[in-house]
Amino acid sequence: MLKHDYAEVNGVRLHYVTAGTGKLVLFVHGFPEFWYAWKDQLAEFGRDHQAVAVDMRGYNLSSKPPEVDRYHMKDLVEDLRALAHALGHERFVLVAHDWGGAVAWALAIRHPECVEKLVIVNSPHPAVFARELAQNPEQQKASRYMLTFQTPKAEELLTANGYAPLVNIVMGEGLKRGHFTEEDRKAYIEAWSQPGALTGGLNYYRASRIGPPAGPDAKPVSFEPGTASLAVKVPTLVIWGEKDAALTPGNLDGLDQFVPDLTIRRVPDGSHWVVHEKPAEVNGHIRAFIARA
């Protein structure tokens, strides 16, 4: 049974959904999703854990600070750490996708004592992504949208025709293939329609200024965890849908240089939205990893 609740942490009010009791497994969504992205995982892991899916700051029912500078990585990391503490857990399993994954990488790098195990779904390690943005023309092209998302017109572009561009980004293929239902589409549009929610999500891009080189003399900008070392000192599972249109499989190359205890599970026919396309397969990989001694 799903329970909705709120936590006042780190200067914001975070909405979260929780299921079950036991060791905490914290699920963190990316852009432009919300807690609902993990509904299949809440059902599965709530059977024998406290499974919690949060609305990140700026999204759905959580606080949406209007200032761009309140979406820096240090604040996003502290949101998750403070939420786990508020839930009564000092250590936890962290499962994250896309922008949630960027924050999860940073949290594991900064505070390895908090993360028992890390599970990343289609989200690049900051050092590897910086390399790919600088050197891989394919990744540079795939990331051009990040520059668009930082412009003042981004909201107008994405909300056109009743959020049609966002529906297409997340659910275009999935609706045709049955990975998403009409009920899912309505739930997402309701979340995007919360006052300030779309701007909150876009402010992650604006605060980080992330993206490929914007001109011939410009340098790419990648996620910045704010530490000298980018080593991940916790056991890490990376699940990667190889048909991701935004993130090339090159983001897996050399990852073991930064993550000594690394397990990679490739999903050849999975896209960026592999969590929705292959929930049973994703859950199986996560469960086997959590159970590993």
Active-site residue list: 98, 205, 272
Distance CA 98, CA 10 (A): 22
> Exposure string (b/e) for 115-150, b if CB count within 10 Å is 16 or more?
bbbbbbbbbbbbbbbbbbbeebeebbebbebbbebb
Do 223 and 126 touch, CB atoms closer than 8 A? Answer: yes
